A and B are shown apart, each in its own frame.
Chain A
Amino acid sequence: MRALFYSRLMPIAAVAVIAAVLPAFFPSAYYYRVAALVFVFALAGIGLNLLMGFAGQVSLGHAGFIGIGAYAVAVGPTHLGLPPWLSFFAGAALSAIVAFLVGRPILRLKGHYLAVATLGFGTLLSIVFTNEANLTGGPDGMAVPRLVLFGWAARGSETWYWISAASFVIGAALALNLIDSPTGRALRAIHDSEVAARVLGIDVAQKKLMVFVVSAVYASVAGSYLAMFNGLITPEVSGFLRSIELVAMVVLGGMGSIVGSLVGSAVIVVLPQALSFLHDYEHVVLGLIIMGVMIFLPGGIVPSLTALFAGRRA
C-alpha cells in the first residue's frame, strides 16, 4: 500500500522540490514571470490531458474556458462589484456550468466531428469576448484588479510564481489521484473501447461529461490566474491559436502524462521567450513544432523518454 502511494505521487513530489529550488537560479524577476506562466499553462494542460490523454476525447476550443476564467476576474470586480476571490470561484462555477450544458451534446460526437465542434464552440466564445465591448472592453481588452486576500495584495512575478507552482502541484496531485481510482480506470477504459465500457456498466456519457467539466474548471482557474497576474486581459487569451497551443503542449509533453503537461508547457512558453529576437518567426516555429510533434513524436516527450529508459520501444 505504502509503495503504491509513493509511486503515484513521486513525480509530483519531484516537481515540488524542483519548483522550490529553481528560484535560486533566477537572475531577475523576468524569470519568475516566465516560470509562473509555464505553471499556469501547465495547470490548464492537466485538465486537457485528463480529457484527451486519459479519456481519449479532444477539445480544440479549450482556451474558451481559459477566457471565461480570465474575464470572470475582470468583469466581476469591475462591473458587478464582486471581490476578485469571489469572481475567481464564480468563473470556475460558470465554466463548469457551460461545460456541463455544452458537453452533453458535443461529447456524443467522435473523431474530427468532435474536434471541429469544440473548435467552433471555443471560437464562438472568443467572438463573444471580442464583441461585447461594454462588458469586456472589446478587442483592446480590459484591466484586471489585483487579487486581495485579507488585506494582502498578490502582486509581482515572485508572488505569482509561488501561487502558480503550488496550484500546479495540487492540481497534478488531484489528477494523479483520479487516475489511480475507479473513475480513472473507467476513463482509460472509455478511451480504448466505449462499447466495452458500457456493457461493463460504465455510464460513458456521464463519465465523459464529468471529465469535460473537470478539465474546464482547470482551464478556468488557469485563466483567472493569468488575468490577475497580468493585470490586463484581451480576447486573444481565448482564441483559436491559444487552444491549439494548449493541445500542442499536451501532445508534446505526452498524452496521458500529467507531469508531461509541465514539459510541454515549458517548451511552448519558453521557446518564444528564448527566441525573442525571432519574434516574427513565432508562428513559423509554432507551426513546425506542431507538425513535427504530431508526425514524429505523437506519443510525446515524457512517455517516449520513459519507455527509452525502461528499455522498451515507445
Chain B
Amino acid sequence: MNILSVDHLSITFGGVCAVDGVSFDIAEGLVFSIIGPNGAGKTTLFNLISGLYVPQDGRVLLAGEDVSGWTPERLACRGLSRTFQNLQIFFRLTALENVMVGRHRHERTGIFTDLLHLPAVERQNCETREQAMAALARIGLQTMADRPAGSLAYGDLKRLEIARALATEPSVLLLDEPAAGCNAVETAELEGVIRGIAKDGVTVVLVEHDMRLVMNVSDRIHVLANGRTLAEGTAAEVRADPAVIQAYLGGQEVGRAVG
C-alpha cells in the first residue's frame, strides 16, 4: 500500500514554477530520498506535502486519502510529521520539554482541566514526560533532558528535532536535510538513527545533499531538477543514470563521492 503519494503537484511563486508536475508513490516502510541541485524545489515540495503551502495543481494522498491543502495540524493528526532545514527548535524550552510538545496530539486534557490542574492533568504530565524521556533515550540525548535547548550543540539539536517529530508517533516522517552542517561522525550516527526509525515501521522521506548518506540508507531515490522529476529508482539505478550524473552527480566525481 502506498502510504504517501504525490500526483502532478505544482506551485508557482511570482512567475517561477518552483514545483512542476511532480509525481511519485512511496510504499509503506521504505526510506525514500529526494535529491537534486540547490533550487530544485525539494524543500518547496516538502512544504507542499506537509501543508505549509497549498498546491496550485495536483494532489497529495496520505494512506489513500486526499489531503491536498490540509493544514499542518490536521496532517499531524493523520500521522505525518517533519523536521526543518532551518532548525525550528523551541529554544526557550528544555530538550525534554521540546519532545514533550511532540506528544501533544496524544494528550487528552482540555483547557478547563488544565486550569484547575485536576489529577488527570498530573497523570497526563507524568505519562508525557515518560514517553518523551523514552524518545530522547532512543536518540541518545537523555543526558541533555533538562538543559535549555538553546545550550545544545548544533548536531544534537538536529537529532532533538527528529526525536520531537518521532514523539508524535508518525506513520510518515519527512526529514529536511538532517545532515546539513553535520560532520562525518554526526552523519554516520544519523545514518544509524534513520535505519532505526525505518526498522520501527515509520516511512522516512529524506531530502539530502550528502550523497554517501543517501546512497547508503535509501530504498528508492527521486531526483528533482528545476522543479521537475529527472529520474527515480534504486540507488544503483540513479547512480548510473546519465541525465542525473550530468545534472547533479558530476562525471568522474561519482565514484569517489559514493565510494
CB of B128 within 8 A of chain A? yes
Instruction: Give the number of residue pairs across the A-B interface with Cβ within 8 Å.
Output: 106
Q: Are A183 and B114 in contact (CB under 8 A)?
A: yes
Pick the contact of A182: B52, B71, B92, B109 (CB < 8 A).
B109
Pick the contact of B84: A174, A185, A196, A203 (CB < 8 A).
A196
Q: Closest 3 interchain pairs by CB? A: A201-B105, A201-B76, A177-B117
Residues of B within 8 A of A (CB): 50-52, 71-73, 75-77, 81-82, 84, 88-93, 97, 100-102, 104-105, 107, 109-111, 114-117, 121-122, 124-126, 128, 164-165, 168
Q: Are A200 and B81 in contact (CB under 8 A)?
A: yes
Residues of A within 8 A of B (CB): 1, 4-5, 174, 177-178, 180-186, 188-189, 191-193, 195-204, 210, 214
Q: A183-B109, A201-B77 are in contact. List 11 more A-B contacts (CB 8 A).
A: A4-B125, A174-B116, A181-B121, A186-B101, A193-B88, A197-B101, A199-B72, A199-B75, A199-B165, A200-B164, A200-B168
Give B176 Cβ to nearest chain A Cβ, in Å: 11
Residue among B100, B115, B116 with max Cβ neighbours from chain A (10 Å): B115
List A contacts of B104 (CB < 8 A).
182, 185-186, 200-202
List A contacts of B72 (CB < 8 A).
195, 198-199
Pick the contact of B90: A192, A199, A201 (CB < 8 A).
A192
Q: Give bound CA distance, A177 to B114, whole Å.
A: 6
Q: Give bound CA distance, A177 to B188, whole Å.
A: 43
Pick the contact of A178: B50, B75, B114, B168 (CB < 8 A).
B114
Q: Give bound CA distance, A196 to B97, whole Å.
A: 14
Q: A196-B89, A199-B82, A201-B76 are in contact. Are A184 and B105 (CB under 8 A)?
A: no
Q: Are A199 and B81 in contact (CB under 8 A)?
A: yes
List B contacts of A185 (CB < 8 A).
93, 97, 100-101, 104
List B contacts of A197 (CB < 8 A).
101
Q: Are B90 and A183 in contact (CB under 8 A)?
A: no
Pick the contact of B71: A191, A193, A198 (CB < 8 A).
A198
Q: Are B126 and A1 in contact (CB under 8 A)?
A: yes
List B contacts of A181 (CB < 8 A).
109, 114, 117, 121, 124-125
A189 (CB) vs chain B CBs: closest residue? B101
Q: Give bound CA distance, A214 to B112, whole Å.
A: 11
Q: Give bound CA distance, A182 to B104, whole Å.
A: 7
Q: A185-B97, A185-B101, A199-B72 are in contact. Are A192 and B109 (CB under 8 A)?
A: no
List B contacts of A204 (CB < 8 A).
73
A210 (CB) vs chain B CBs: closest residue? B111
Give B81 Cβ to nearest chain A Cβ, in Å: 6
Q: A177-B114, A201-B77 are in contact. Are A196 and B88 (CB under 8 A)?
A: yes
